[in-house]
Amino acid sequence: MTFDDRPRERLVRLGPRALLDTELIELLIGTGTKGSPSPVVAAALLTDAGSLAALATWDTHDFGRVHGLGPAKAAELAAAMEMARRIRERAHDPGEKLDAPGKVWARLEPLSAGLSVEKCWVLCLNRRNRLLALQEISSGTATSSLLHPREVYRQALKYSASAAIVAHNHPSGDPTPSPADRAVTRQLAEAGRVVGVELLDHVVIGRPESDPAGKGWFSFGEAGLI
């Protein structure tokens, strides 16, 4: 490899779009360590994660398991991934009213992209359906999630929310609700009436290309099931 063919020099000369995924990761890693040069570590990271989108969900512990990355570099990479997630998330204007399931999907899709497990979130809203807080409340396996009314409304009451939207992702990308999803939605709606916090919607987050309806989400509110 000549000097001009190195990733850093190609980035300066041609721009970041000219670089491969592994080359971008290599630049974040830096020089690497003896016996673990940055190109080798970058390739290992991408192979272990499976994709760049999946790598963006890694935290410090995940990076720390990779040979050739010390604690400081693992923290730097985790920070870079978190920054990418926040940039993508906030591009959807977090100040807008969350009064449609498509807006909920746009808000949460950056958080769910690449996940191999189900995660559940509660969005706490004021009387004008503006977001007060977004909290992850549980993380399960690829086949089950832990969406408990107790935890949902504990968060809603903590932020003095007038209403709440719950959401969880389907790692398969198909947002079609399961019988368990339907049952927990009924439980959540009933619990909300008891505590005085209206459940506006339960949105299942998927991907448009895997959704039979082509939208990328399923909304219990939109379907008239709340």
- Per-residue pLDDT tens digits for 7-45: 889 899 999 889 999 999 999 998 777 778 899 999 999
Helices (H) and strands (E) in the chain, counts: 9, 7
Give the residue range(s) of CATH 1.10.150.20 domains in the chain: 3-89
- pLDDT of 35 reads 77
Task: Say if residues 172 and 205 touch (Cβ distance below 8 Å).
Answer: no
Give the residue range(s) of CATH 3.40.140.10 domains in the chain: 94-219
Mean per-residue pLDDT over the chain, rounded: 89
Helix (H) or strand (E) run with residue 112 in it:
helix 101-112
pTM of the model: 0.63
Strand segments (E) across the chain:
32-33, 36-37, 119-125, 131-139, 163-169, 198-205, 217-219
* Mean pLDDT in consecutive groups of 10 residues from the start of the chain, 226 residues: 75 90 92 82 92 87 90 93 77 67 93 90 92 89 71 92 96 94 94 96 96 96 95
- Per-residue pLDDT tens digits for 152-172: 999 999 989 999 999 999 999
Q: 94-219 domain in CATH 3.40.50.300?
A: no
* Residues β-bridged to residue 202: 166
- Name the superfamily (CATH) of residues 3-89: 5' to 3' exonuclease, C-terminal subdomain (1.10.150.20)
